[in-house]
Amino acid sequence: MKHRTILWPVSGLLAATVLAATPLAYGTSSTDTPPTASSVSSPSTAPTEGAVMAHMFQWPWDSVARECTDFLGPNGYDGVQVSPPQEHVVLQGEGFPWWQDYQPVSYQLDSRRGDRSDFSEMVATCNEAGVDIYVDAVLNHMTGSGSVESGPGSAGSEFEKYSYPGIYENSDFSECRADISNWDDPDEIRNCELLSLADLRTGEEGVRSTLTGYLNDLIDLGVAGFRIDAAKHVPPQDLEAIVSRLDGDPYVFQEVIEDSAISPAEYTGTGEATDFAYSEELSGTVRDGSLAQLKGINGTEALNSDQATVFVDNHDTQRNDPTLTYKDGDPYNVATAFMLAHPYGTPKVMSSFDFEDPESGPPAASNGMTSPANCEDEDWVCEHRQQPVAGMVEFRSVAAGSGVTDWWDNGNDQVAFGRGENGFAVFNRGADLSRTFQTSLPEGTYCDVASGSVVDGRCTGETYEIDTGGVLSASVASDSVLGLHVGTRL
């Protein structure tokens, strides 16, 4: 895997020292660990093992910057996926739906979330807080057919479908000008139109260099990586050609929804791929309460752990699929905490705006500019701040390098497992649970990170004792989580 730095297992003591000294961030622990494995390059921007990103869906740039400083950095989040920053269509007649942003008009950084200088300041502020920025990059297409088929876009540019003055002309778009209809045919999926969106000829040199120019401009501003939107609809060799020309070694993860025609494995030469099978299995199993079935969960067969980007829900599935979301409350937090505790994939925590209508956009001014986001405002859900979620971010980092140990389950709706000497967690979708667990943790008093954190040397949540034999006696309420790790041994 080219885009991943494998770090040496961090011992509990060392991890605790690192935690005490600095907020967790990409690269901060690399100076304290032996060299990276020789089979991979060592890009400074790639996530370390144990890294966690948050998807700050539709958050404006100023607000992301503040959240990086106030919460994401101090709580150990390593990166943020931000919504598309490029100029997009403005669909006033439809009430500025969130999805207008996925119809690029130009690559000027001027969107409903702010302009180029707001974007650039956000990147700098987040980087300062130890948080990387990953941009949702829409490379497959430009605008579609719909209520608005001509400009101006969010930066004022004029356009029509297949004509974007100074950027692309008619001949830059695929010959097929019809929607994908045969989803068993990879050529159609890649060379016809997804949702009527003008499909770029990504095999063409001019198109490739325009896309590379856009991404390199973002890298120049300090962006550390990209989510490649609709990657399944771009031939893998085209993405490989585009990404190979990028400056530095950005972290790349590609949105590929496995189907009968296309496997995410076709994309792993370029970066990670989204693991939708993992999401379905985790979300479905936790929803049904059958947690014991999660033993050994490892997502789609086509991807290894270090090739997979994992999540409980994303901005599409939370609207369209029978998946757990913030609307499910505690069980949703159990699912997210499990994902963070379990060593598979690179996890992404969803952070949403509250919605009833799946089409509606985030809170906005009358001109369509997104209103500031903050976690005191109930329009913004802030899943990333929920204690069982936020607390497990640090757990994942401390546990990096240790596999699953001491697995226990009741055959049904209660499970527990450790991460060697570094951590131990319990997940309960059943009745209140009281019992003893065998762990591999060193003796001591621990702060439960699912219920609180250590502030000025004191635990704001529950504390638990581990005896000399590693035994833990614990009570874990229904639909809750317990998380102990050596970074919060008191």
Contact residues toward ligand ARE (CB under 6 A) are 99-100, 102-103, 138, 144-146, 194-197, 229-230, 232, 255, 257, 259, 315-316
Choice among 255, 421, 448, 479 that is catalytic? 255
**Residue whose CB is less far from ligand ARE, 132 or 199:** 199
Closer residue to ligand ARE, CB minimum distance, 315 or 384? 315
Please tell me whether residue 254 binds Ca ion under the rule CB under 5 A.
no
Question: Which of the listed partners (ligand ARE, Ca ion, none) does 385 bind, with a CB threshold of 5 to 8 Å by partner kind?
Answer: none
Residue 255: contacted member of Ca ion, ligand ARE, none (CB under 5 to 8 Å, by partner type): ligand ARE
Q: Are 294 and 348 in contact (CB under 8 A)?
A: no
Shortest distance in whole angstroms from residue 233 CB to Ca ion: 4
- Smaller CB separation from ligand ARE, 254 or 480: 254
Shortest distance (Å) from residue 28 CB to Ca ion: 39
By CB under 5 A, tell whether 199 contacts Ca ion: yes
Q: Whose Cβ is closer to Ca ion: residue 112's or residue 233's?
A: 233
> By Cβ distance, which residue is nearest to ligand ARE?
144
**Per CB under 5 A, which of residues 139..158 are in contact with Ca ion?**
140
Which residues, 6 or more positions from 296, have their beta carbon under 8 angstroms from its beta carbon?
none
477 binds, among ligand ARE, Ca ion, none (CB under 5 to 8 A by kind): none
Sign of the C-alpha dihedral computed for residues 425, 429, 433 and 437 taken in this order = negative
Cβ 146 to Ca ion shortest distance, Å: 19
Q: How far is the CB of 199 from Ca ion (least distance, A)?
A: 4
What is the closest distance, in whole angstroms, from the C-beta atom of residue 199 to ligand ARE in the complex? 11
Q: Strand ranges (DSSP E) for 104-209?
A: 132-138
Q: Which of Ca ion, ligand ARE, none has residue 144 at its interface (CB below 5 to 8 Å by kind)?
A: ligand ARE
How many Cα neighbours within 13 Å face the side chain of 422? 25
* Rounded Cα–Cα distance for residues 316 and 323 (Å): 10
- Which of residues 103 and 352 has its CB atom nearest to ligand ARE in the complex? 103
Give DSSP secondary structure letters for 182-197: -TT-HHHHHHSBSTT-
Q: ω before 85 within 30° of 0 (cis)?
A: no
**Least Å from the CB of residue 194 to Ca ion:** 7
Residues 202-241 that bind Ca ion (CB under 5 A): 233
Residue type, 398: V
| 237-244: Cβ within 8 A, 24+ apart | 238/202, 238/203, 238/208, 239/139, 239/202, 239/267, 239/270, 240/269, 240/270, 241/208, 242/139, 242/202, 242/208, 242/211, 242/212, 242/215, 243/270, 243/271
Which of 62, 229, 249, 421 is labelled catalytic? 229
How, if at all, do strands 463-466 and 423-428 pair?
unpaired
Shortest CB 139 distance to Ca ion, Å: 9
What is the number of alpha carbons within 13 Å of residue 483 lying toward its C-beta?
A: 32
357 is catalytic: no
Largest CA distance in the chain: 72
In the complex with ligand ARE, the residue whose CB is nearer, 58 or 387, is 58
404 binds, among Ca ion, ligand ARE, none (CB under 5 to 8 A by kind): none
Q: Which does 199 bind (CB under 5 to 8 A by kind): ligand ARE, Ca ion, none?
A: Ca ion
330 is catalytic: no
- Residue burial 208-217, b: 16+ Cβ < 10 Å; e: rest: bebbbebbbe
User: Which of ligand ARE, Ca ion, none interacts with 347 (beta carbon under 5 to 8 A by kind)?
Assistant: none
- Residues 454 and 53: their CA atoms lie apart, in Å, by 22
| Contact positions vs Ca ion (CB under 5 A) | 140, 190, 199, 233
Catalytic residue set:
229, 255
